[in-house]
Amino acid sequence: MGTGIRTRIVRIGNSQGIRIPKPLLEQSGIDTEVEIEVQDECLIVRAASRSRIGWDKAFAAMAEQKDDILLDDVNITEWDRTEWKW
Give the domain ranges of the chain. 1-72
CATH topology of domain 1-72: Pemi-like Protein 1; Chain: D (2.10.260)
Q: Could you tell me if 54 and 48 are in contact, meaning their C-beta atoms sit under 8 angstroms apart? A: no
Residue-wise pLDDT tens digits, 9-56: 999 999 999 999 888 888 888 888 899 999 999 999 998 887 788 889
Whether 62 has a pLDDT exceeding 70, the answer reads yes
Distance CA(37)–CA(5), nearest Å, equals 20
Q: Is 23 helix (H, G, I), strand (E, B) or coil?
A: helix
For residues 48 and 31, give the distance between their C-alpha atoms in angstroms, rounded to a whole number: 9
Q: What is the DSSP string of 31-74?
A: -S-EEEEEETTEEEEEEPPPTTTTHHHHHHHHHHTT----GGGT
